[in-house]
Amino acid sequence: MKNYFIKKIKLHGPITVSEYMSDCLLSPKKGYYNLKNTIGSKGDFITSPEISQIFGELIGLSLVDYWYQCQKPELPIVTDLGGGNGTMLKDALRAINQVDKNLRALIKPIFIESSLTLTNKQIKIIPDSFSFKDISEIPKGFLMLYANEFFDALPIHQFIKIKNNWHERLIDIDSSDNLQFIYNNKPSPYEKIFPKNLRNNQLIELSPSAINILSSLTKRILETGGIVIIIDYALSHNDLFGSLQAIKDHKYIDPLREPGNSDLSSKVNFSILENVATELNANVHGPIKQKVLLQNLGIKLRCEQLIKNNPDKKNAILSDYNRLTSNDEMGDLFKAIAITPKNSIKPAGF
């Protein structure tokens, strides 16, 4: 897509980071998520559900527990927001079916997905599922929705502090037609709401899409009941120079190097998500580290069961367990948060 961006910038001028991310990931013909094999060991990156079936199983069982604690509401809906290959929802539904076949029969499985390529994969792996492009299309019912590594793919705006003023970061082309970062010469109108204590050249990232989506989901469960679980790569206090990253063949590369051919993402600001839900008068559980959530849900016991039934796969199962819970890998880097209506019970794991 490099030529596409060169033509676009020459015609319209520099673009925002948000516009760049959106085009790179979701362009109908050349966008990254419309490529054939992007997720998994043979793709560019791997997610927790692709590492181990246990991940989806535990989330599925936590939803069963929540449904029971809420006195088995009618019209249960399990929704995967940005479901990738469909692996996580498949694992979750299998676990649900093992403990309550009647509940599985009642559940309407739904994917919210923008990519036609991924939608086709999801329908094949779960034939009774429905796919929608927008959360507003989710039918009425008791909504149990999770979003694993969804919010990190939402477009962000970046702002950089220059000479004590905040300017929006843009993408332009240099004299050799290579993409490069620049910044808007005019200070951003948003700088009044940004913190004063950051230094020059440090960055702030903001995702209006994340705020709008979470606001809509929170209002939905406040109206009909349910739960929203978000698990994602978390922004930390050390990410002072931006968290935009690109992955190609399981390696980090320059985000401007291969537009449309690499996965773009940024770390999720869980504090903002927490504030959005709290201001709408919802209950917020967490954020907690992914390893804490999985340990609370019984990942160790489930690993022991798998090893007992598959002794020849012991090393692989333990390796997957460590990857999901290790301090050096997803265990510490990823966080989880749950949002429920006011006065609802505390969800399992939190």
Indicate the pTM of the whole model. Answer: 0.93
Please tell me the predicted confidence (pLDDT) of residue 238: 86
Contact 38, 208 (CB under 8 A): no
Domain ranges of the chain: 2-24+157-204, 31-152+225-232+253-340
Please tell me the predicted confidence (pLDDT) of residue 44: 58
Between the alpha carbon of residue 63 and those of residues 44, 58, 288, 318, 344, the distances in Å are: 30, 9, 18, 25, 14
**Percent of the chain, pLDDT > 70?**
97
What is the distance in angstroms between the CA of the first residue and the CA of the last residue of the chain? 42
Q: Residues in the chain with pLDDT < 50?
A: none
Please tell me the predicted confidence (pLDDT) of residue 207: 97
104-113 pLDDT, tens per residue?
999 999 999 9
Burial class (CB in 10 A: 0-12, 13-18, 19+), 253: middle
Contact 113, 83 (CB under 8 A): yes
Domain covering 31-152+225-232+253-340 in this structure, CATH number: 3.40.50.150
> What is the Rg, in whole angstroms, of the alpha carbon atoms belonging to the chain?
21
Please tell me the predicted confidence (pLDDT) of residue 191: 87
